[in-house]
Amino acid sequence: MIDYVIEAGNSFVKIAPIIDGKLQYIERISLLESQIIINKIKGKNIVLSSVADENFRDDLTNNATIKFELNRNSLFPFKSYYQTLETWGMDRACNVCGALAKKTDTPILVVDIGTCIKFDFIDKNEFYHGGSISPGVNLRFQAMHNGTANLPLLKPSKSTELIGQSTQASLLNGVMIGMQCEIEGMIAKYEQQFEKLTVILTGGDLFYFDFPEKSNIFVEQNLTIEGLYQLYKFHAE
């Protein structure tokens, strides 16, 4: 029996209890508050996927029983054309499994907006092809701050104007509006090439952006952890 599913990213941990075999509410907790997570899972059985440092994993191992941990030796319930699975991010694997569980019978494009922006494409025959990776919001702000002498380090903001009338406003709209245009432009390119495309948006920074309402675009905030649970069930069968 599984008590919790845990997906640990670069900055945050998502943790979801399992009740009667189903994922319940999902909490998003900063890695800086890892003791809160340890207290929750003490003595419990867990499913884990983690890109966090080994210290966090050691804390989990010392306090809970890991019944399944996703890694690059795990089996996946889909076929893949991807050429470097040995370096494939496990969050991307979870997203693909979560998307396939939706049973859309169409090509699927997953857009994960987090530390990086990740596009992952699955064709209508459920073959995974790959996609693209580019810097996310905070990486862009950090790059401009660290790579220049005078530009300040800013935080993301949902409220931006097209024309920045100050250095701060120019940085904000360059990153936020620039990312919005990048994502919408990439989606448009996929839509031109693949008919009846289903687009699934997910990721911790998704809430900073407003995307047009279209019948083929869906928001699945917890797609990664849902896909991780699907992978556990696949291995448990």
- Helix, strand, coil proportions of the chain in percent (round to 5)? 40, 25, 35
Helix, strand, or coil (residue 28): strand
113-117: list long-range contacts, CB under 8 Å, 24+ apart: 113/137, 113/179, 113/183, 113/201, 113/202, 113/203, 113/204, 113/205, 113/206, 113/208, 113/209, 114/9, 114/10, 114/203, 114/204, 114/205, 115/9, 115/10, 115/11, 115/139, 117/179, 117/182, 117/183, 117/203
For residues 49 and 230, the answer to whether their CB atoms sit within 8 Å is no
Q: Is 91 an annotated catalytic residue? A: yes
Residue with token string 């990213």? 9
Q: Which of 20, 53, 59, 91 is catalytic?
A: 91
In angstroms, rounded to a whole number, what is the distance separating the alpha carbons of residues 12 and 21? Answer: 24
Residues labelled catalytic: 91
